[in-house]
């Protein structure tokens, strides 16, 4: 079984330069550039931004900040990816001492950008990796792709002994900025931000003492055979021909179904027998007493919950389903506030927060929870191998967090309070000439 082990040696999250910060003021300027919008769309977007849970220091793509969101180029898409991939990989190799030619397996997951040559080929070329490297490019799997990549590496380790693997998780935001006026497709502009992470994994038992964590379990659930689930989060063109991501009302239903099915497989593997027996007994009693509660206490087997920071509603929904308190949900809330929804890379910013706050102690179990288009729920459980406390990507701002929820009110809530005035419903005006002070 030792050869089947999967150890995490290091991970490196991307932090963009300050000139790429996308605060609310910048977002409003971008919104007002869209000539397709009317007052109801402006109201929806501004309300969403103010209530999104995102702070004022998230990062956006350069082409959008420069006003070129309607005319993205292939070069700009590559530049966005290069900055994330090469920036995190350079730091990863430098910090660990592992050199690019040592890598046996390379997996890149970027859902919306699949160029030719592939992104894995671009990395192999940049770092002059070996000609027998096993490389994989995953696309179209959304926010849960990173867990797919981890599961893939775990399975490859079964047939590749004493190997190193690198997983790169990110997304291209610039080429996929929605420029139409459909509310259900504008949400992605409000939540998604630039970011990503590179992770170094190994199954070398001799490096066990250097590992941060060990992968204990990985469960993947795909309910794409259900038409509603398949179409609840899908990339389409609107009636005007603008590409974007459609998020339907069936999303929450699909997420609940996939998550429940995933837990049915995962729970017996992670909870102690006494908790499973307690749950079974209460469930039996519930048939005779409908007031009896039969919820599982996941905290009997898991100490930390790494929830994908997909949005305030996602965090609240998963937290309620799992019976978590504010302490448990704090890492996801703060990752959303500081970095936004960085798609497949988001979980690693949450993990980084936990480590920077010195929450992770040797022997602790950590559950990573991800949901993504397809529709999929991919979760995994890690065991912490030693006390962790690296400041990582959070080091520059750790003293500011956590921010109390009452203090997370968007600073522009008052400035744009007029957008909530229902008396303006009848107004149709051109807001593109508004000057922002």
| Torsion angle, alpha carbons of 62, 63, 69, 71, to 10 | -160
Strand partners, 13: 197
**What phi and psi values does residue 386 have, to the nearest 5 degrees?**
-160, 160
How far is residue 78's CA from residue 276's CA, in Å, rounded to a whole number? 49
User: Are 363 and 396 contacting, i.e. CB atoms less than 8 angstroms apart?
Assistant: no
Q: Is the pLDDT at 283 greater than 80, yes or no?
A: no
How far is residue 422's CA from residue 412's CA, in Å, rounded to a whole number? 19
User: Are 254 and 232 contacting, i.e. CB atoms less than 8 angstroms apart?
Assistant: yes
Q: What is the pLDDT of residues 302-353, one digit of tens each?
A: 999 999 999 888 899 899 889 999 999 999 999 999 999 999 999 999 999 9
How far is residue 295's CA from residue 69's CA, in Å, rounded to a whole number? 47
Half-sphere exposure of 168 (CA within 13 A, CB side): 32
CA-CA-CA-CA torsion sign (207, 213, 218, 221): negative
Angle of CA points 315, 320, 323, to nearest 5°: 120
Nearest residue to 350 (alpha-carbon basis) of 303, 304, 384: 304
CATH class of 6-424: alpha beta
Model confidence band, residue 381 (pLDDT cutoffs 50, 70, 90): very high
> Token pair for residue 430?
């051109």
Which SS3 state, helix, strand or coil, does residue 323 take?
coil
pLDDT (mean) for 80-105:
97
Cis peptide before 375 (omega within 30 of 0): yes
pLDDT (mean) for 218-229:
95
How far is residue 138's CA from residue 126's CA, in Å, rounded to a whole number? 19
pLDDT (mean) for 276-282:
74
**What is the residue extent of each domain of the chain?**
6-424
pLDDT (mean) for 280-302:
69
Q: What percent of the chain has pLDDT over 70?
A: 90
Model confidence band, residue 190 (pLDDT cutoffs 50, 70, 90): confident
pLDDT (mean) for 293-299:
73
Q: What is the pLDDT of residues 117-152, one digit of tens each?
A: 999 999 999 999 999 999 999 999 889 999 999 999
Q: What is the pLDDT of residues 398-415, one digit of tens each?
A: 999 999 877 777 776 666
Nearest residue to 362 (alpha-carbon basis) of 231, 212, 252: 212
Provide the pLDDT for residue 408: 77
Provide the pLDDT for residue 419: 59
How far is residue 215's CA from residue 210's CA, in Å, rounded to a whole number? 14
pLDDT (mean) for 353-374:
96
> Token pair for residue 178?
């929605």
Strands 365-372 and 376-384: antiparallel
């Amino acid at each position: 079984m030792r050869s089947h082990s999967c150890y995490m040696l290091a991970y490196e999250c991307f932090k963009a330069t300050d000139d790429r910060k996308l605060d609310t003021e910048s977002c409003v300027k971008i919104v007002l550039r869209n000539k397709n919008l009317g007052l109801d769309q402006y109201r929806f977007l501004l309300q969403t931004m103010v209530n999104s849970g995102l702070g004022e220091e998230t990062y956006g793509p350069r082409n959008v900040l420069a006003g070129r969101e309607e005319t993205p180029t292939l070069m700009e898409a590559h530049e966005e990816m290069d900055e994330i991939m090469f920036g995190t990989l350079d730091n990863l190799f430098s910090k660990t001492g592992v050199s690019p030619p040592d890598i046996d397996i390379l997996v890149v997951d970027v859902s919306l950008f699949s160029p030719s040559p592939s992104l894995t080929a671009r990395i192999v070329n940049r770092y002059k990796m070996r000609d027998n490297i096993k490389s994989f490019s995953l696309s179209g799997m959304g926010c849960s792709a990173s867990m797919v990549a981890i599961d893939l590496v775990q399975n490859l380790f079964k047939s590749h002994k004493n190997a190193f693997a690198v997983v790169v998780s990110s997304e291209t935001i610039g080429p996929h900025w929605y420029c139409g006026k459909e509310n259900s497709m504008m949400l992605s502009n409000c939540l998604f931000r630039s970011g990503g992470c590179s992770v170094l994994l190994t199954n070398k038992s001799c490096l066990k003492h250097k590992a941060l964590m060990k992968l204990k379990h990985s469960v993947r659930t795909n309910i794409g055979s259900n038409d509603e689930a398949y179409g609840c989060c899908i990339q389409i063109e609107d009636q005007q021909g603008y590409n974007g991501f459609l998020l339907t009302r069936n999303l929450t239903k699909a997420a609940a179904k996939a998550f429940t099915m995933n837990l049915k497989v995962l729970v017996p593997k992670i909870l102690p027998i006494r908790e499973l027996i307690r749950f079974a007994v209460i469930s039996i009693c519930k048939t005779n007493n409908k007031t009896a509660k039969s919820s599982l206490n996941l905290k009997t087997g898991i100490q930390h919950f790494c929830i994908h920071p997909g949005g305030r509603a996602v965090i609240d929904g998963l937290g309620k389903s799992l019976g978590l308190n504010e302490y448990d949900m704090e890492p996801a809330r703060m990752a959303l506030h500081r970095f936004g929804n960085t798609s497949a890379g988001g979980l690693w910013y949450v993990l980084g927060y936990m480590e920077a706050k010195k929450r992770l102690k040797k022997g602790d179990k950590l559950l990573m929870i991800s949901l993504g288009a397809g529709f999929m729920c991919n979760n995994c459980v890690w065991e912490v191998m030693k006390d962790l406390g690296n400041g990582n990507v959070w080091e520059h701002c750790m003293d500011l967090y956590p921010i109390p929820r009452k203090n997370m009110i968007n600073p522009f809530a008052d400035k744009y309070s007029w957008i909530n005035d229902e008396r303006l419903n009848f107004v149709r005006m051109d807001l593109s000439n508004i000057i922002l002070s």
